[in-house]
Amino acid sequence: ISDKPDLRYGTQIGIEVTNCMPTRVAEAFNLWHRVAKQGSQTPPRIFERLEQLDEVQLVDDELIWVQGMYSQEELLDFYNAVEKKVERLNSTKANYAPMDTYELFINSFIMIPRWKMEEALARLGHINSKTKKYSYIYLVTNEKTLLIFDMINNTLTIKHLYSYLDRLAEEAKSIYLGTEN
């Protein structure tokens, strides 16, 4: 674990990690986290803003993002996240460590319909066309699906994770808490 890139396997593979979600949703999550920290000391303007946003609700101590069906805007958030990371990777000011290959992992709550996936692969190829490129772009969707965009071979692989994500989350939590088995 490092920075620029976030995860490394020696000097062979560098993985940058990010997420993509609409700005209003990210703001709502951040505000709810402030409410959790500040409790009764939370300024009323925070609750007023949360009411305006109406993107994320607290239900039984869980934050729920109420999403509708697929929207083109979510796909644009994904493309924008990739574009930012490609620009950053190629920036002389970013000081990325030299690696044999770079990969990009994006955690998201979006859904990409099957009929949009080939278009997404083509769009990513266009975005990822600078001097330094990501060899693979991984996207976890709200359907517990991992989309693997192989930018070298211009292919897409779909993995359905289902309960695997839950197991990984529990393992990560136990490592974090120091209770690994």
- Per-residue model confidence as pLDDT tens digits over 11-63: 999 999 998 877 788 888 888 889 889 989 999 999 899 888 887 777 777 76
The predicted-structure confidence for 74-125, as pLDDT tens digits, reads as follows 788 899 999 999 999 999 999 999 999 999 999 887 888 888 999 999 999 9
DSSP secondary structure string for all residues of 3-35: SSSSEEETTTEEEEEEEE--HHHHHHHHHHHHH
More confident residue, 160 or 135: 135
In angstroms, rounded to a whole number, what is the distance separating the alpha carbons of residues 150 and 136? 5
- Residue 70, class by beta-carbon neighbours within 10 Å (0-12 exposed, 13-18 middle, 19+ buried)? middle
The predicted structure's pLDDT at residue 71: 65
